[in-house]
Amino acid sequence: MPHSEIARIAAAFVHGVQTSGVAAIAKHFPGFPVLEHDPAAKDTAVGAKGWSTKTLTPFKAVVNAGVSRMMIGPAIVEAVDPTAPTTASSITVRASQEDLGFRGVVGSDDLDSPATARGRAPAETALASLLAGADRLLIPGGDEVATVAKSLAAAAVRNPIVGERLRNAANRVRALVNATDLCDFPGKQKRG
């Protein structure tokens, strides 16, 4: 299917679900057209020749349609940033914001997938993703949630930049929740 047709369908979907009060998510930015392996099972990357700017066409369309969330993908895309998995790449996050104009909530992909972790512990990968610009971190659950939370809290105490990033991320997620029908919680501002 041509990128233009994918873009048209994706933009219509975003418009439809968000008109109904649901926050749509575009994923996996910047696009992963060719992967040798499943990044959730094995460390893999998109080679420099396996990605082109045409891959951004659907993302441009959903950003123009007002998509409220963007999930950054799991693996390295060599043509965008050959040094880091996209979930931990500030270059990739900035591209979604500066090149496409995305202003919504940025989310990581699964922080314990081999292509994202690349041998790091989930807490270390979470910190890298947060500092790259992710507002929401996807972790598998269980004891790992507490470990990552404690690690990020400790990093925020040691480094004011981490603390500021956490505050900004929390404010962006809170604003999204308040603007949608995602969930109800004490203190949520009711839509008018």
Predicted confidence (pLDDT) per residue in 58-77, tens digit: 999 999 999 999 999 999 99
Using only the alpha carbons of the chain, give its radius of gyration. 17
Residue type, 19: T
Question: Residue 42 to residues 35, 75, 89, 112: CA-CA distances in angstroms?
Answer: 11, 10, 19, 11
Residue 140: pLDDT band (50, 70, 90) is confident
Alpha-carbon gap, residue 51 to 73, rounded angstroms: 13
What pLDDT, on the 0 to 100 scale, is given for residue 120? 93
Whole-prediction pTM = 0.89
- Of 110, 119, 124, 88, whose CA–CA distance to 40 is shortest? 110
Model pLDDT for residues 155-184, shown as the tens digit of each residue: 999 999 999 999 999 999 999 988 876 555
Residue 187: pLDDT band (50, 70, 90) is low
DSSP element (H, E) containing 108: strand 105-110
